[in-house]
Structure 1
Amino acid sequence: MHPASGILLVDKPGGITSHDVVARSRRAFGTRKIGHAGTLDPMATGLLVLGIESATRLLTYLVGLDKTYEATIRLGAATTTDDAEGETVSTAGSDALAAVTDDRIAQGVAALTGRISQVPSTFSAIKVDGRRAYDLARSGQDVELKAREVAIDRFEVRETRRSRDAIDLDATVDCSSGTYIRALARDLGADLGVGGHLTMLRRTRIGPFRIADAHDLDALADRPTLLEPAEVAARVLGRLDVTADEARDLRHGKRLDGAAERIAGGNAAAIDPDGVLVGIVERRGDALKSAMNMPEVRA
C-alpha cells in the first residue's frame, strides 16, 4: 500500500526549523518523499505548505504565491541578523527615539510599500557561490547580496507601543514571494535613524491557503487528512475539466488542439471525470499541452 498523496498545511511552532517539521511529517506518513513550499526561520511561526508523495510535483506552482505575515518590529536597536536572535550592533538614545513620531513612522512605512528594491538579510538562505549566506556570515566572512525587486501590497501598522528604549510596531504585511520581513524591519529602522529588527513573525497565508486550516504539529501523529491534489491545483491555477479521452491524450504527451481558449490564464489544472488531477496544462499557441503530469491512479 502506497502512502497517501496530497498537500498538508502545518502550523509551525517557534524554536524549530522547517526541516524539523518535514522530518516529523516523514515519520508520521511513512515516506521520505515530502517537500515544502517555502521555509520559515526557527524564530518564526505559522503556515507551512507540505507536499507528500506525488503531490510534491505541485510545489513548483506553490512556491511563488504571495503571502501574508503578522510581525512585530522593534525600533531602537539593530542586530546582526535583523531579528531578535542576533547580537545587538547599535542602539538609539532616548532623544532619537522621541523624534520618531507617528507621522515619521507612517512616512517610512509608505516608502516601503509598493514595488521596492530590497537587499535580503545577510543571515538568509540565499546561496552565494554555492553556499548559504547565513553559513558564510556565521563563519565571519563578508556577505554582499544583490538587491531584488519585491512587491509589498500592504504594510499596515496596527498598534504602536512606546517605552523609554524602544518603539514596538505590530504590523500586517501582504507581499510577494521572496520578500524578507526582517529586511523591512531593518530598512524601516535605518530610514528612521534608530535601527530596527524583528521580534515576532507569523505567516498566516500562502496564496489561497490560510493558517486557520493548518494542523498543529502534535496532530501529525494522527496523520490528518490531506488536501487532494486536484483541489489544490484548481484553487491555485484554475480548473479545466477534461474528458476521459482528453485525459488519456494528455498523459501520453499529446496536445489538445484548439483548446487554449478553454483556460483563462497560462496554466490550469486538468481534472478528469473522476475528479482526479491529470496534471498541469499550459498554452502552446491555440493548443494545450501538459507541463506536468501526475502519476496515473490505478485501482
Structure 2
Amino acid sequence: MDTKTVEVKEFLAQFDANAVIAQPGSKIKLKNFDPGYTAGLKKADVEGALQIGIDRLAYYQDILYAQNTYALLIVLQAMDAAGKDGVIKHVMSGLNPQGCQVFSFKAPSAEELDHDYLWRSFKALPERGRIGIFNRSYYEEVLVVRVHPEILEKQQLPPEAKGKKIWQQRFEEINNFEKYLVDNGILVLKFFLNVSKDEQKRRFLDRIDQPEKNWKFSTADAKERLLWDDYMYAYEDLFTHTSTEWAPWHIIPADRKWFSRLTVAYFIHEKLKSLNLAYPTVSDAHREELLKVKAMLESES
C-alpha cells in the first residue's frame, strides 16, 4: 500500500469531525474550540496527505461539472491573518478553473447599498456544476456591521429595519436563504478559520518584518484587532443562530496552517463524495450516432 495513502487514513482515523462542528441548536462558545488542535498529529505525520486530498477533489469536481446538477458554495470567514487566502490557494490549486469561481466581498459599493444586503450574494452564486468560494460573505452583515454600528447607520434602510431585533431577523433571513439554496441543489459549506489572538499577533509581526509581505498588512488590521472581544461575541452569536442541519458551521483550528488546509479539504471531499455523483449517460440513439462517427474516423486514410 502506498505510504501516502496510509498517512491519509491515519489522519482520518484520528480526526474527530465533531470536534470542529458547531452543533445546530447549541449555544456556541469559542473557548470550547481549540485553535491549536491538530488531532494529536504533527505536520510530518501527514506529509503528502493534502496533495492526495486535492487530487480527490479534482476527481469529484470533474464529475460535478459534467453532471451539471449540483453546485457547491464554500463560505470562508475569519479574523485577519487566519489564512483564508492560503486555504483558497492551496486547497483549490488542483481544481479546473472553468468549474471554480472565487468572490471576495469588500465594503458594499453605492450600487450594492441601493439593494438588499443579500443581492450581491445572489449575483455571485455558483452555477450548477461549479464550485463557488466566498472569501468573506453575507455574514459580514452580522459581524462587521454589528461591531461597527456606524456602518448600519449609513445603510439606506427604513427606520423600522434598524430596530433592536435586526440581528435575529438577519439570522433568520440568512438561514432561509441557505435553506432555499440547499433545497435547489446549491449545497453550502461554511468554514470559520479559528486563529488565536496570539497567533494573529505573530503573523502580523511577520508581515511587518518581511518586506515582501508588507502589502498584506494595513493599519486597519491592527485597529480591528483592538475589537477582538466584540468580534468573538458576534461570531459566537451567529454560530449559535446560523449553524443549521442543512448548513452547519465548521470551526476550523487555524493556528497550524497545514492542519486547517487539510481539514477544509477533508470536509469538501466528504461533501462531494456524499452526493453520489456520476458522469451523464447517453441515450441508445446518441450512442449509435457515436459509433457511426467512430467508424467514419477509423475509415479515414
Which one has a larger percent strand, Structure 1 or Structure 2?
A: 1
TM-score normalised by structure 1 residue count: 0.26
Relative contact order higher in (CA < 8 Å, ≥ 6 apart): 2
TM-score normalised by structure 2 residue count: 0.26
Which one has a larger percent helix, Structure 1 or Structure 2?
A: 2
